[in-house]
Amino acid sequence: MSAVMANFAEKKMENMERYAENFSLWAEECVKVIDKESGREVPFRLNAPQRRVAALMEKQRKAGRPVRVILLKARQWGGSTLVQVYMAWMQLVVRRGWNSVTCAHVKDAAGSIRGMYTRLLRCYPPELKPGKPKDWELVPYEKSASVGYVTARDCQVAIATALSPNAVRGSNFAMAHLSEVAFWGDGDAGTAEEIVRTVSGSVLRCPDSVIVMESTANGKENYFYEEWKRAVSGKSDKLAVFVPWHEIELYRRPVTRAETGRLLASLDDYERALLERGVELEAVAWYHDKRKEYQSHEAMMAEFPSTAEEAFSTSRQPVFAPETVPAAEEKVSAPAAQLAVFIPGEGKRPHVLAEFALRPRLVVVSEMEMAVPLGEAVNRAGRLQRAAGRPLMVVENAAPEERTHARWCSAALAEAGASLVYDEEDRPWFAPDTDVLSEWIDILNALLRDGEVVEKEDVRSLYAGFRFAAPWLAPRIVARLAAAFYRRSGGGATDYDSLL
């Protein structure tokens, strides 16, 4: 071996030793994720909540104990991403042959999970991938559609849903990520417990094994809440972890010295209590300003809980505040549509095809529900797109037990020459999981609060009936969520510029 090759091998060995001891360093130097703002691949630099949760997991692991965590998620800090990348680190760096399983609320999450792992392997540093390139790809394991395999590390990456947990029964796993457990079995505690037992029962109880049960809050009448209480009281094998809003760096605003006295005088008892608990003034200032957007403090706490109890107590608040839903503007001028959204009907529900103007306000230009065969609905959506020349966004919106048609629809539309909008995984359809749906809701809520949504008919009952746990019951609202996301991501910017 030449001196150059020897030095290279020695350097690689040093890097692997460093990475095996430092998850955060490995994540930043070796992992790429999609930045939600820019849509670009960026290094995975852990934020403050992610660093804290990772440190707690590492404390358990380095003490020789199995990693066991129940994680109550807040919005917009990347808890699910952290768990997925941590398990990948265990498989690619720490342990060989260390199989993992992720069980999600619905199958929409499977594509994003598989896409994250595929991207991680594709962007992984070449010097850390010895052998054949094919050995570092996620390929089907024994022709299974739900289990991937990385040959170079001899590990399986399995994906199940709460509706089909038996797909992993009898397998041997070392790690399990149980996602959005509060919504499993539509909140039925007995059903959720049985699913958890099925999946967790396949995980070895040994050092370096991992089980993370996580969810956003969904009230108190479900299995996840009961498990949270057991963990808090010390009766569970899991460590209870909650990330409050004020730990997320995004929720800050600068406070000048001249403003400090006036701000402190304007705080109420709740906000002063936050300061007494050690919350930074810049965070409390942001919270103080943000509360003005909400009719009640309870509605604010539902979005930004300071404690776990707040999260569970307020999570049943309406998704859309009634006072922000616009009244019908029957005489609104019909602007040129800049986006069409097609939602295939699943089960016995009709298909939805809606057109939206995006700038300067979000306007529902036209909207129809079509109780026709799927093929005819696809033909109508394609004809509309080709005639008007605007992009078409296909959105999957199926109940967990239903067969979905969005992928087939997008393929048929693409073959017919339609111009489709692609998601961050470069797919010509959108399958929003709970994290993505939460982000879309935030965007639409912000537009509603700012008076930037125009409705040509009275749809207040549609907004009032929307349920985060069952978006398939309100496809017309899902169409608005998709349009709001497309608008925020830059869609229609050219037309908007021409209006200025």
Q: What is the DSSP string of 426-438?
A: S-SSB---HHHHH
In this prediction, residue 37 carries a pLDDT of 66
Closest to 111 in 3D by CA, of 498, 466, 487, 429 = 429
Contact 56, 239 (CB under 8 A): yes
Q: Which long-range contacts (CB under 8 A, 24 or more apart) does 253-261 make?
A: 253/282, 253/285, 253/286, 253/289, 254/282, 255/281, 255/282, 255/285
In DSSP terms, which residues pair with 34 in a beta bridge? 41
Q: Which two tokens stand for residue 204?
A: 């070895």
Where in 180-321 does DSSP place strands (E)?
A: 210-215, 239-242
How many other C-beta atoms lie within 10 A of the C-beta of residue 371?
10
Residue 500, classified by CB atoms within 10 Å of its CB into exposed (0-12), middle (13-18) or buried (19+), is exposed
Can you spell out the DSSP letters for 444-457?
Answer: HHHHHHTT-EEBSS
In this prediction, residue 351 carries a pLDDT of 95
In this prediction, residue 411 carries a pLDDT of 93
Strand 362-370 with 453-454, pairing: parallel
Per-10-residue mean pLDDT, the chain, length 500: 49 77 95 78 93 97 96 83 95 96 71 78 91 92 85 92 63 89 74 82 90 88 92 95 92 94 94 94 95 80 87 78 86 82 88 93 92 93 89 89 85 93 90 85 91 91 83 93 93 37
Q: What DSSP state is assigned to residue 193?
A: H
Q: Which two tokens stand for residue 236?
A: 């569970």
Contact 147, 141 (CB under 8 A): yes
Closest to 60 in 3D by CA, of 210, 160, 203, 256 = 210
In this prediction, residue 4 carries a pLDDT of 42
Give the whole-angstrom CA distance, residue 428 versus residue 419: 9
Closest to 26 in 3D by CA, of 10, 43, 13 = 43
Give the whole-angstrom CA distance, residue 72 versus residue 244: 9
Can you spell out the DSSP letters for 251-273?
Answer: S-----HHHHHHHHHH--HHHHH
